[in-house]
Chains A and B, each alone.
Chain A
Amino acid sequence: MNINLTLRILGALLLFLAIALLFPVPFSWFYGDGASGAFILAAIISAGCGGILFSQFNSEKDLSVREGFAIVTFGWTFFALFGALPFVFSGAIPSYLNAFFETMSGFTTTGSTILTDIEAMPPSLLLWRSLTQWLGGMGIIVLSLAILPMLGVGGMQLFKAEVPGPTTDRLKPRIQDTAKLLWGVYVLLTCVEILLLMAGGMSFFDGLNHAFTTMATGGFSTRNASVAAYNSAYIDWVITIFMFLAGVNFSLHYLALRGKIGDFIRNEEFLFYSSLVIVGTALITMLNIGGTYPGFLDNLRYSAFQVVSIITTTGFGTADYELWPVLCQYLLVFFMFIGGCAGSTGGGMKVARILLLFKHAQVQVYRLIHPRAVRLVKLGDRPVDKDVMQSILGFFALYLGVFVAASFVMAATGMDLNSAGGSVIATLSNIGPGLGSVGPVDNFAHVPAIGKLVLAFCMLLGRLELFTVLVLVFPSFWRK
């Protein structure tokens, strides 16, 4: 471990956070909500700490794999720790633990909230919540790679540690260029969504916030009732479509913008993801017939919105799915585990991993029937590397392990069965709302302190896909 270099880069990341912290300040002046001081103070503290780390530590050596893991994990933790400051300084969220939970939920694009009355918050702080999600969605490190030239060498280590999915696409030979392209697509899609939302009657402020949190598959809203507050079919459908797009591998979006739209159809993961969404929507629409919603179109609209919101791990609500038939809820829980595509902003285990797990199981059965047959797991036409397959199996086991362990802790704090499991999967898969007492119309304010810490850790584990964080727990990681 090269501690000096790690600290120096962490310092750089904090300097970068300080700049981000200044972004809501003009909004604060515009709305006169009096929170500008809190942002400026937080920025100064962040910049101070960052500056000290950056200037005091230096190293001639290059980044290795280990530093990559440490920088990404601690970077995200620091962002949540320092990003929580404005909430505390402005007095909007007096408890630092709550503010930390809220910020971690933001950066990891989870969307779980401890706020009971969102509309009472100063607008600039609401914007900061949404901004944390937007920054966390495509990845803080990826953004830093695009902007900070000093991260160039060894950048691939950081990139791999942060970008979700079993394998990482490289669009350009230089990692910085790849990062720039991904962020470019992200910004473009966000801008388009802002315009479309404003066309549906949203104010610029609401449009900006919702576009930020849709594209990040985060799910923070500026309204207590989430997207349901607008009660507009147009807005529901626009957000449904953009959530769906945000759950797709951004490399595919880039290729589509370059005119290679055929790549969508050739991509097996995308096809599987689409069919999951379509089948899920059809099933839930059918199950809801005659019950929850009177008209077919309304039924379809609410069902599609909720299916896409859950599978992409966004977590916006237009309906309380806990009132739906049990089978619908069961399907949604299944989708909570799956999550978005690799290389998207969605969380969960990722469609590619689930798809490959099924294929792997299929090959195992096949090999029992034909012991001498040689058959490889393939994605599209290309065989999947054995190492990748093994890491997926490991990932699956760890994911379930973490889920079970964290659920135990939550149950130990006195939560009921539904809520304990629901809160863990909601945070581990970065969805937001869970089940039971943390369901779509509830919040996390009542969770005990120890529970909030565990859930915040789950968010981090989920966003960085377990390995990056868990590798730091092993003592051998720290030895020379």
Chain B
Amino acid sequence: MNILIVGAGQVGYFLCERLSLEGHEVTLVDRDQEHLNEAQDRLNVLGVLGNGASAETMEQAGIKEADIVMAVTDLDEVNILVCLLAREYGVGKRIARVKSIDYLSRGAVLSKDKLGIDLMINPDDAVADELANLAGRAGTFDVAEFVGGQIQFLGYRITEDSPLCDLTLKELGEIRGIYRFVVVAITRQGQTIIPRGDDTIQVGDSIFIFAHKEELPAIQYMLQIKEEKRRGPRKAFILGGGRIGLRVARNLEARQFNVRLVERDLERCEKLSAQLQKTMVIHAEGTDIRALLDEGIADADVVIAATDNDETNILCSLLCKRHGAHRTLCLVNRPEFLDLAPSLGVDACVSPRLSAASAILKFARRGNVISLATIEGSNSEVLEIEIKSTSQVLDTPLKDLSFPRGAIIGAIVHQNSYEIPDGESSLKVGDRVLVFALPEALAKVERFFE
């Protein structure tokens, strides 16, 4: 495909990387020569210098031949203009990154359609929602929902006291009994593998499972992840009162958390206090551990570090953990840092780029992929695929099909039921299939189901 990306910021760079690796023709437009050079040097993309909102620049970048335009600059207005331009040039798919609620809200006068945008994404909001989801689910560091929330994709870290330690998957299969779930991947020292029956779960691993939401309590019990039994609501600390921090606070307020939001700028504090109802806004530095201890960080259920500085976030998370906070979630922009989380003891690292990219990639993919999630620290993906009547894999037991290596089917959802597949399972029209795939298998998986 011919893809035109406007804006060589972090989201743009990440998209370029992913899409060029998948073999697409990517052109990048930006006003900053340095950013362009960086991308051109490291990635297999073409850079065009200029303003994305100008028709001349866009023609130069080949907008006439583009299949998809992704406008991901920092400015809403530029992104919107790019999409309007792209519509005039007849580009099929137009994606814009938009921050302002004026454009995003459902009742907006200038709706998505009028602005010529097929998909509007907001990385900050996406990551804030992800953080709030993680905060709401004890023990997990990665959560994605599929088939309308029925099937959950969860990541767990294996610690020394975990009952799964040193079990092979076969043994796990015996003790798990009636609980239906499947371990689709293990990440060990930065490497993601799809485990077989004789692979062992070790300390320090991250395991990924698919499970139906009704079985979650039982699974949590089995993994000995107990929701803290305490009187009153759970206590959450959010460090950094930027746009993301504010949205997380709102989200957690709605989930009946007792929220404390720490922000170092007094004026911003007042604005936050005006916008939030129940949250306690605290004027302090995130590293001022005394102030945080005074407000009770020692028995916090979850600490979310969401300042705009990666290093601060990681350090604050560690500091809070050291002083007794149960779980720490960390916002990290640079992908290099994402892998650090397990070894440092941060419970989860979340990146706005990954969240945004996952949304964009899902949309950009052709065909029958409905939903998609990207996995922390690796390029693996979870795909939700709908089986069409034209598919060649209908009504044949899975063992008779040559399913691609480097991928695994985690769950099949029929009209009214679901199953954890084995060799005898077969697919019917209208089924939704959840597939975990390593990067090299992605393309094959998509082809397989066609």
Binding site for B on A (CB under 8 A): 370-376, 378, 381-383
The reply on B287 being an interface residue by CB < 8 A is: no
Chain B residues contacting A378 (CB-CB under 8 Å) are 274
* Smallest CB separation, A362 vs chain B (Å): 14
Among the stretches B35-43, B135-143, B276-284, the one at the interface with A is B276-284
Question: Residue on B with the closest CB to A382?
Answer: B274
Chain B residues contacting A382 (CB-CB under 8 Å) are 274
Among the stretches B265-273, B341-349, B431-439, the one at the interface with A is B265-273
Question: Is A374's CB under 8 angstroms from B266's CB?
Answer: yes
Question: Is A372's CB under 8 angstroms from B284's CB?
Answer: yes
Chain B residues contacting A375 (CB-CB under 8 Å) are 273, 280-281
Binding site for A on B (CB under 8 A): 266, 269-270, 272-274, 277, 280-284, 291, 294-295
CA distance A376 to B277 in the complex (A): 10
Question: Is A372's CB under 8 angstroms from B283's CB?
Answer: yes
Question: Residue on A with the closest CB to B274?
Answer: A383
A374 in contact with B269 given A382-B274, A383-B274 (CB within 8 Å) = yes
Question: Residue on B with the closest CB to A374?
Answer: B269
Chain B residues contacting A381 (CB-CB under 8 Å) are 277
Residue among A373, A376, A378 with most chain B CB within 10 A: A373
Name B273's contact: one of A370, A371, A372, A376 (CB within 8 Å): A376
Question: Is A370's CB under 8 angstroms from B282's CB?
Answer: yes
CA distance A370 to B273 in the complex (A): 14
Question: Residue on A with the closest CB to B260?
Answer: A373
Question: Residue on A with the closest CB to B294?
Answer: A372
CA distance A373 to B280 in the complex (A): 6
CA distance A383 to B276 in the complex (A): 10
CA distance A374 to B264 in the complex (A): 11
Question: Is A374's CB under 8 angstroms from B270's CB?
Answer: yes
Question: Is B273's CB under 8 angstroms from A383's CB?
Answer: yes
Question: Is B273's CB under 8 angstroms from A374's CB?
Answer: yes
Question: Is B295's CB under 8 angstroms from A376's CB?
Answer: no
* Smallest CB separation, A269 vs chain B (Å): 18
CA distance A90 to B340 in the complex (A): 96
CA distance A370 to B294 in the complex (A): 8
State the main secondary structure of chain A at its contact with B.
Answer: loop
* Smallest CB separation, A329 vs chain B (Å): 39
* Smallest CB separation, A21 vs chain B (Å): 50
CA distance A373 to B282 in the complex (A): 4
Chain B residues contacting A374 (CB-CB under 8 Å) are 266, 269-270, 272-273, 281-283
* Smallest CB separation, B105 vs chain A (Å): 17
Question: Residue on B with the closest CB to A381?
Answer: B277
CA distance A378 to B291 in the complex (A): 25
Chain A residues contacting B295 (CB-CB under 8 Å) are 370, 372-373
Residue among A371, A375, A383 with most chain B CB within 10 A: A375
Question: Is A372's CB under 8 angstroms from B270's CB?
Answer: no
Question: Residue on B with the closest CB to A375?
Answer: B273
CA distance A382 to B269 in the complex (A): 15
CA distance A378 to B294 in the complex (A): 25
Chain A residues contacting B273 (CB-CB under 8 Å) are 374-376, 383
CA distance A90 to B81 in the complex (A): 78
Chain B residues contacting A372 (CB-CB under 8 Å) are 282-284, 291, 294-295
Question: Residue on B with the closest CB to A383?
Answer: B274
* Smallest CB separation, B80 vs chain A (Å): 29
CA distance A319 to B291 in the complex (A): 59
Question: Is B281's CB under 8 angstroms from A373's CB?
Answer: yes
* Smallest CB separation, B236 vs chain A (Å): 15
* Smallest CB separation, B279 vs chain A (Å): 10
Question: Residue on A with the closest CB to B269?
Answer: A374
CA distance A255 to B26 in the complex (A): 56
Question: Residue on B with the closest CB to A384?
Answer: B274
A370-B282, A383-B270 given. 15 additional CB < 8 A pairs?
Answer: A372-B283, A372-B284, A372-B291, A372-B294, A373-B282, A373-B283, A373-B295, A374-B269, A374-B270, A374-B272, A374-B281, A376-B274, A378-B274, A381-B277, A383-B274
CA distance A374 to B282 in the complex (A): 6
Could you write out 24 A-B pairs with CB less than 8 Å apart? A371-B294, A372-B282, A372-B283, A372-B284, A372-B294, A372-B295, A373-B280, A373-B281, A373-B282, A373-B295, A374-B266, A374-B272, A374-B273, A374-B281, A374-B282, A374-B283, A375-B280, A376-B270, A376-B274, A378-B274, A381-B277, A382-B274, A383-B270, A383-B274
Chain A residues contacting B283 (CB-CB under 8 Å) are 372-374
* Smallest CB separation, B444 vs chain A (Å): 53
* Smallest CB separation, A363 vs chain B (Å): 10
* Smallest CB separation, A444 vs chain B (Å): 47
* Smallest CB separation, A386 vs chain B (Å): 9
Chain A residues contacting B272 (CB-CB under 8 Å) are 374
* Smallest CB separation, A366 vs chain B (Å): 9
CA distance A382 to B283 in the complex (A): 20
Chain A residues contacting B284 (CB-CB under 8 Å) are 372
A-B interface, 5 closest residue pairs, ranked by CB to CB distance from nearest: A374-B269, A383-B274, A374-B281, A376-B273, A372-B282
Chain A residues contacting B269 (CB-CB under 8 Å) are 374
CA distance A372 to B285 in the complex (A): 11
* Smallest CB separation, A356 vs chain B (Å): 15
CA distance A92 to B282 in the complex (A): 67
* Smallest CB separation, A346 vs chain B (Å): 29
Chain A residues contacting B277 (CB-CB under 8 Å) are 381
CA distance A374 to B284 in the complex (A): 10
Chain B residues contacting A371 (CB-CB under 8 Å) are 294
CA distance A375 to B283 in the complex (A): 10
